[in-house]
Amino acid sequence: MSVESTLAKVEADLREREYRTARLRLLGLLSNAPTDLSVRRRLADTHPGRHGQDGERGRWHYLDEALTPGELAAFERRFRDPARRLKVLRWPDPGRAAPSTPLARRRLAALYHAATGSAPDWPGHPEDAAVRLAPEATGEPAADEPPARPNVPPRPPARPSALPPGRGPGPTAGQVAFDVTMYLVLLVALLVMAGRALF
Same domain, 1 and 62: yes
Q: What is the mean pLDDT of residues 177-190?
A: 90
Query: pLDDT (tens digit, 9 = 90+) per residue, 68-80?
Result: 999 999 999 999 9
- 175 falls within a domain: no
Judgement on whether residues 103 and 67 belong to the same structural domain of the protein: no
| Final residue belonging to a domain, choices 56, 73, 90 | 73
Distance between alpha carbon 84 and the CA centroid of its chain, in Å?
A: 9
Is 70 exceeded by the pLDDT of residue 147? no
Q: Is there a single domain that holds both residue 111 and residue 52?
A: no
CA-to-CA separations, 113 to 32, 34, 73, 130, in angstroms, rounded = 26, 21, 19, 9
Tell me if 176 is assigned to some domain.
no
Same domain, 83 and 58: no
Q: Kindly state whether residues 60 and 94 are assigned to the same domain.
A: no
If asked whether residues 86 and 133 sit together in one domain, one would say yes
Q: Among 46-50, 137-141, 168-172, 175-179, which is the least confidently predicted range?
A: 137-141
Tens of pLDDT along 37-52? 989 998 988 887 666 6
**In Å, what is the CA distance from 77 to each residue of 15, 73, 83?**
30, 6, 14
Query: First CA to last CA across the chain, in angstroms?
Result: 76
Domain total of the chain: 2
Residues 68, 114: one domain? no
Which of 33, 39, 72 is closest to 54 using CA atoms? 72
Do the domain assignments include residue 174?
no
Whether residue 34 sits in one domain with residue 90: no
116 located within any domain? yes
128 has pLDDT over 90: no
- Residue 157 inside a domain? The answer is no
Domain annotation covers residue 198: no
160 falls within a domain: no
Query: Residue 164: inside a domain, yes or no?
Result: no
Kindly indicate the confidence band of residue 168, based on its pLDDT and cuts at 50, 70 and 90: low
Same domain for 2 and 49: yes
Does one domain contain both 9 and 64?
Answer: yes
The pLDDT score that the predictor gives to residue 26 is 92
CATH code for the domain of 61: 1.25.40
Percent of the chain with pLDDT over 70: 77
Q: Is-contact 66 42, C-beta < 8 A?
A: no
Domain that holds residue 89: 79-144
Residues 90 and 133 in one domain: yes
